[in-house]
Amino acid sequence: MLKVLIIDDETKSRETIKDMLEIFCHGIDVIAQADSVKTGISAIKQYNPDLVLLDIRMPDGTGFDLLRQIGHVNFKLIFITAYEEYAIKAFKFSALDYILKPIDPAELIEAIDKSKKMIANDSLNLQLNSFLSNIDASSKETKKIALKSMESINLVEVNEIIRCESNGNYTSFYMTDGEEIIVSKTMKEFADILDDHDFFRIHQSHIINLRHLKCFIKNEDTCIMRDNSKVPVSSRKRDELIKFFKKY
């Protein structure tokens, strides 16, 4: 049985989650509930849960405050949040699981099933450290993104990514140190979260980091990147790219 702790300041929300878990999810035991940062920390210490469903906003602080006070996490974690774009982008940057309020049973089931297959380990703590530092960051340059390959979770600084290339359901990230990291997610998922960080989708299959763009060969519709790779520019994106150069 997976021991679950629900931390949410809304009684109705906690009861709804509990009812959904009992109806739709097998092998789940809701061992306790908490309604604040303080009671949440106490419950974690007392019950030693396998999985924590953690709300973000509570009367005495946030779920982030709770994680900072706990330090090392030895349980699986799913965030519960109302739609807040800045937080959701941070979740995606760090490859952390979250579900939105109002909670959809299908999304809850999917998140629980996914958590059952995961092992709470040091990788989660690396992701959480990255997430908390991104939430606190005041500049783009300090942002780190979690890239999950088949073998590992790679935490890399956003400005170390030269470009991304789509390979069906996979995305290849080409780094300043020459490394290629292949992630089992489509490029569209990364296009949305990298959009605010000087990345530009110049082709259906290519995103480039404008910081690492060396030149644009107009008669070939090709970008030359810092690593001397050549990236095609689609006709639809050509004018937008030329507008970028006119800023300088």
Torsion region of 61: left, alpha or beta (phi above 0 gives left; psi -120 to 50 gives alpha): left
Same domain? For 70 and 188 the reply is: no
Q: Read off φ and ψ for residue 102, nearest 5 degrees.
A: -65, 145
Among candidate residues 88, 119, 135, the one where a domain is terminated: 135
Among candidate residues 108, 135, 162, the one where a domain is terminated: 135
**pTM of the entire predicted model:** 0.67
User: Residue 80: which of 69, 66, 72, 164 has the closest Cα?
Assistant: 66
| Under 8 Å between Cβ of 225 and 163 | yes
**DSSP, residue by residue, 184-212:** SS-HHHHHHHHTTTTEEEEETTEEEEGGG
In one-letter notation, the amino acid at residue 187 is M
Where in the sequence is the domain holding 146, given as residue range(s)?
142-246
The tens-digit pLDDT sequence of the chain (248 residues) is 899 999 999 999 999 999 999 999 988 999 999 999 999 999 999 999 999 999 989 999 999 899 999 988 889 999 998 866 667 777 877 778 899 988 999 999 999 988 887 755 557 877 887 787 777 655 444 588 888 877 788 888 899 999 999 998 999 999 999 999 999 889 988 887 887 788 999 999 999 999 999 999 999 999 999 999 999 999 999 988 888 777 65
Same domain? For 196 and 177 the reply is: yes
Domain count, the chain: 2
Token pair, residue 147, equals 């890239």
Among candidate residues 135, 163, 188, the one where a domain is terminated: 135
Token pair, residue 67, equals 């994680």
| Under 8 Å between Cβ of 78 and 111 | yes
